[in-house]
Amino acid sequence: MTRLIADYVVVGAGSAGCAIAYRLVEAGHSVLVVEHGGTDAGPLIQMPGALSFPMNMARYDWGYFSEPEPYLGGRVLATPRGKVLGGSSSINGMVYVRGHARDFDHWAEAGAMGWAFRDVLPYFKRMESWHDGGHGGDPAWRGTDGPLHITRGRRDNPLYDAFVQAGRQAGYQLTGDYNGEKQEGFGPMEQTVWKGRRWSAANAYLKPARATQRCEVVRGLVERVAFAEGRATGVCLAGGQLVEARAEVILAAGAINSPKLLMQSGIGPADHLRETGITVLRDRPGVGGNLQDHLELYVQMAASQPVTLFRYWSLLGKAWVGARWLFTRTGPGATNNFESAAFIRSAAGVEYPDIQFHFLPLAVRYDGQAAAEGHGFQAHVGPMRSASRGTVRLRSADPAAAPRIRFNYMSDPQDWADFRKTIRLTREIFEQDAFAPFRRHEILPGEGVRTDAGLDDAIREHVESAYHPCGTCRMGAADDPGAVVDPQTRVIGVDGLRLADSSIFPRITNGNLNGPSIMVGEKAADHVLGRQLPPEEATPWIHPDWATAQR
């Protein structure tokens, strides 16, 4: 059997793993990236408008599901995770959100010293190649020559502007760049799309890293981390192959598979490992805990004019969209079609936004099933900072077995009040004059659903994951018994092993997680290399009347 050895072994070719590999190779090191999934070539991944396909394909997705969720009537929710080069950045919705500055300040306050906004801003800027498309923004807050291209859609459809103007009419702020100084407000949404193509972590980072000849991708299922005298020396693959690291092993397998892999390696809650038949190497009770996600409801409206994307929903229409993209990289296939967004506060006394809107000029489920009403539009909406927490646990000692994922969605009573509030605020926006030329009636939850009990039933039946799992290997102080990695991304209690992906988030960030996951990879690479970018002071816009006004 061929011996594979490099300076560093990175497990997972996803958002963080690709960034880590790129920066280590850039510094002159050799890297082996271990990935179970295959190639990201082909139009279903590379065409932004086809985003609902790859996350529903076993070829690209691990195919995970939650356990029956007790507070959602026992529903089992899909938990797609990328099993392909680029990881979940190759099957996600391509929405780019950094998160609010206060999110990262909270990380530092929770024990992740050196991860406040002033510390992470330079890494966001280093990774970005930002193109504002003439829509305004905050250039001083953004990066212009990084590997990750960030663009904005053309916003040609009149519904995109109607959404923003409706927000203004309802009394909310406007923002030209929610990734800049001012997150709060209504404005254009950003996407990881470049020249009409999905700009995944594989396209941005892995391909240039491999071109140096110092980075090689190894296909295989990692069964466990190999240790010698308490130090990680490599990883064992199914079939018995050992991939060895001269310096360090870095796990970047994501919020579900990173804790799974730690537990398979004997690092995790001791009682659970013993019950599963795994020898305990280190008792770390925080492994697999602190699981968080964003839930969202699609508030759907029937349209009175045929201006929505439903015009392309026939076989002929889809063929036209695909052909236009294939030959010109333009049209509806060249965008994720999430081109307007908003971040608002749910109540007076909330310092910074805790509700996010994705606006889409089509009434459709994420799995691609269009609403029976035909022409329509929708806002994906949900609270950003639920107090509910779940767990990832092993189903058995078999590395090929799917883990047991229990989010405990809506287990905190406040979640129900918060979610009812988001629905009512969304309805108010859709009732503004800007939507009068386009609005017919509400499809979901339905115009007759008005009482708290009725809304709770709609939430229980229709709410969906936004596919933002995180927090399962929480970063914190080295002496924090619930922490899994220290602020240098080293796994606490062993040597030679780091972990860097969305699983280390102490608390979920505002918005989609791909951007902050890549940032974690960028910053972790500098910790590995023993360097850091100088902190930058930047004060985010906070509503001057936040303590007494909701908008």
pLDDT score recorded for residue 371? 72
Distance CA 166, CA 474 (A): 39
For residue 540, whether the previous peptide bond is cis, meaning omega lies within 30 degrees of 0, is no
Q: Is 410 exposed, middle or buried (0-12, 13-18, 19+ CB in 10 A)?
A: buried
Q: Are the CB atoms for 160 and 361 separated by under 8 Å?
A: yes
128-130 and 148-152 beta bridge pairing: parallel
Q: Among this protein's residues, is 468 annotated catalytic?
A: yes
- Classify residue 490 by its DSSP letter: B
Closest C-alpha among 81, 89, 94, 87 to residue 34: 87
Distance CA 244, CA 236 (A): 9
Q: How far is CA 3 from the centre of its chain?
A: 35
Write the DSSP assignment of 204-251 as a string of letters.
IIIHHHHHTTSEEEEE--EEEEEEETTEEEEEEETTS-EEEEEEEEEE
**pTM of the predicted model as reported, rounded to 2 decimal places:** 0.98
Structure tokens at 87: 């990881």
Closest C-alpha among 188, 159, 209 to residue 6: 209
Element (H, E) at 295: strand 295-303
361-384 residues labelled b (16+ CB within 10 A) or e (exposed):
bbbbebeeebbebebbbbbbbbbb
Distance CA 56, CA 137 (A): 35
Helix axes 514-529, 15-26, angle to 10 degrees: 30
Closest C-alpha among 190, 186, 191, 189 to residue 434: 186
CATH code 3.50.50.60 for 1-148+191-291+389-406+471-533: yes
CATH code 3.40.30.10 for 154-188+295-383+411-462: no
- pLDDT per residue rounded down to tens, the chain (551 residues): 678 999 999 999 999 999 999 999 999 999 999 999 999 999 999 999 999 899 989 999 999 999 999 999 999 999 999 999 999 999 999 999 999 999 999 999 999 999 999 999 999 999 999 998 666 788 999 999 999 999 999 999 999 999 999 999 999 999 999 999 999 999 999 999 999 999 999 999 999 999 999 999 999 999 999 999 999 999 999 999 999 999 999 999 999 999 999 999 999 999 999 999 999 999 999 999 999 999 999 999 999 999 999 999 999 999 999 999 999 999 999 999 999 999 999 999 999 999 999 999 999 876 777 677 899 999 999 999 999 999 999 999 999 999 999 999 999 999 999 999 999 999 999 999 999 999 999 999 999 999 999 999 999 999 999 999 999 999 999 999 999 999 999 999 999 999 999 999 999 999 999 999 999 999 999 999 999 999 999 999 999 999 999 99
- Return residue ranges of the chain for CATH 3.30.410.40: 154-188+295-383+411-462
Question: Which value, in Å, is the radius of gyration of the alpha carbons in the chain?
Answer: 22
Distance CA 100, CA 511 (A): 8
pLDDT score recorded for residue 136? 75
Closest C-alpha among 126, 147, 139 to residue 177: 139
Closest C-alpha among 166, 134, 175, 168 to residue 152: 134
- Return residue ranges of the chain for CATH 3.50.50.60: 1-148+191-291+389-406+471-533
pLDDT score recorded for residue 365? 79
Helix axes 117-127, 101-109, angle to 10 degrees: 130
Please count the other Cβ atoms lying within 10 Å of the Cβ belonging to residue 441: 12
pLDDT score recorded for residue 135? 66
pLDDT score recorded for residue 133? 65
Residues β-bridged to residue 485: 475, 491
Q: Are the CB atoms for 493 and 282 separated by under 8 Å?
A: yes
Distance CA 527, CA 539 (A): 25
Catalytic entry in 294, 468, 527, 543: 468
**3-class DSSP state of 320:** helix
Closest C-alpha among 445, 312, 297, 303 to residue 376: 303
Q: Are the CB atoms for 521 and 477 separated by under 8 Å?
A: no
376-383 and 355-360 beta bridge pairing: antiparallel
Distance CA 424, CA 214 (A): 54
> Which residues lie closer than 8 Å to 202 by C-beta, 6 or more apart?
13, 18, 40, 85, 86, 89, 90
